[in-house]
Amino acid sequence: MANTDIEARKQELLNQGYTEVYTRTKVLTDAVMHYCPGCGHGTTHRLVAEVIDEMGIQDQVVGVSPVGCSVLAYNYFDVDFQEAAHGRAPALATAIKRLNPDTFVFTYQGDGDLAAIGTAETIHACNRGENITMIFVNNGIYGMTGGQMAPTTLIGMKSATTPYGRRVDLNGYPLRITELISTLPGTYYVTRQSVQTPAAVRKAKAAIRKAFENQKLKKGLSFVEILSNCNSGWKMTPVQANKWMEDNMMPNYPVGDIKVDGKLVDNVDVARLAVDHPLTVMQ
């Protein structure tokens, strides 16, 4: 259904006395998203778009999409966009912002892109304190290529390349990149959120808003991790996948602010989190 048809139908319903309670965000395009139903990408896209809309900065935003499930993010956001090589989005964003200081620049990356192949770009952009926003969607797996082990795959978690579960002796430990970059003086705001319930969505949106507001105030790098299910990669229904995420991902990747206004949050023990893996998971 074309946009004009949608608008006409909407008008028709409003004329019949219906009330509009939920509508498309204008910063999202009409393109039909390719994401799997139930995946957190669609929700996270919408939250970023709502924040851009509410801040009135649509004409100042340049986004950078990664390689991975969200490679086509540029088709969904109605803002200028660049598509980076795998892992390099923070390098692109660095130059975009430095050469165009009046723009709002954000990267939108997955865990394979940001925490494996792009580790160097991630750490150095964070360490330089680039005045950008990084949105990091962590689903513990390489979704687009068919569900292989990611740096964030849990111990014992099955994937296409760990069919018997991730083993520490073979594959090493899951990487908590978010805790890691929170220890760098260049990061100003570091938080982990999720989008599996309405309450979580509201908190995630507030975090994204804060990340963009920090950029407006030229405070340095803001980093928002969003935990998402990958129901198709995990081979579960969306409902099962969200439950599995709460039971298994969240103990390993605790949700909440890690660093606010350039200071580590008091009750978050980053050093302990860096080494402690509380749960061995078997699917």
Partner 1 sequence: MAKELKLMKGNEAIARAMIASGTDGYFGYPITPQSEVMETLMAEKPWEDTGMVVLQAESEMASINMVYGGAATGKKVATSSSSPGISLMQEGLTYLAGAEIPCLVVNVMRGGPGLGTIQPSQSDYFQSVKGGGHGDYQLYTLAPASVQEMYDFVFDAWDIAFKYRNPVLILSDGAIGQCMEKLYTRDYVPRWTEEERRKNAPWGTWGKPANRPHNIITSLELDSARQEVFNHKLQAKYAEMKEKEVRYEMLNCEDAEYIIVAYGSSSRIAMKAMQMAREKGIKVGLFRLITLFPFPSKQLAEVAKHVKGILCVEMSAGQMIEDVKLATNCGVKTEHFGRFGGIIPTPTEVLEALENKIIK
Q: Which residues bind partner 1 (CB under 8 A)?
A: 29, 58-62, 64, 71-72, 74-75, 77-85, 88, 91-96, 98-100, 102-103, 120-121, 124
Q: Which residue lies nearer to partner 1 by CB, 65 or 228?
A: 65
Nearer to partner 1, 126 or 157 (CB): 126
If we measure between CA atoms, which residue out of 191, 193, 238, 229 comes closest to residue 69? 229
| H/E segment holding residue 141 | strand 141-142
DSSP assignment, residue 67?
S
Which of 168, 90, 73 lies closest to 127 in space, CA to CA?
A: 90
SS3 252: helix
Tell the smallest beta-carbon distance from residue 117 to partner 1 (Å): 10
CB atoms within 10 A of CB 80: 14
Q: Which lies closer to partner 1 via its Cβ, residue 79 or residue 195?
A: 79
Closest CB 88 distance from partner 1, rounded Å: 4
Considering beta carbons, is residue 33 or 84 the nearer one to partner 1? 84
Nearer of residues 25 and 60 to partner 1, judged by Cβ: 60
Please state the closest distance from residue 68 (CB atom) to partner 1, in A.
12
User: In terms of Cα–Cα distance, which of 30, 174, 194 is closest to 112?
Assistant: 174
Helices (H), the chain: 3-15, 40-55, 89-99, 111-112, 119-128, 168-171, 177-182, 198-216, 231-234, 238-244, 250-252, 270-275
29 contacts: CB under 8 Å, gap ≥ 6? 75, 76, 77, 78
CB of 121 to partner 1, least distance (A): 6
- The distance of closest approach from Cβ of residue 99 to partner 1 in the complex, given in angstroms and rounded to an integer, is 5
Question: 63 or 174, CB closer to partner 1?
Answer: 63
Residue 262 is encoded by which pair of tokens? 């350039």
CB of 132 vs partner 1, minimal distance in Å: 10
**Residue of 257, 256, 228 whose CA lies nearest to 244:** 228
Rounded to the nearest whole angstrom, what is the least distance from the CB of residue 98 to partner 1 in the complex?
A: 5
Nearer to partner 1 by Cβ, of 47 and 132: the residue is 132
Selection from 249, 156, 159 nearest residue 200 by Cα: 249
- Shortest spacing between CB 186 and partner 1, in angstroms: 12
**Closer Cβ to partner 1, 59 or 269, answer by number:** 59
* Phi, psi torsion values for 270, nearest 5 degrees: -65, -40
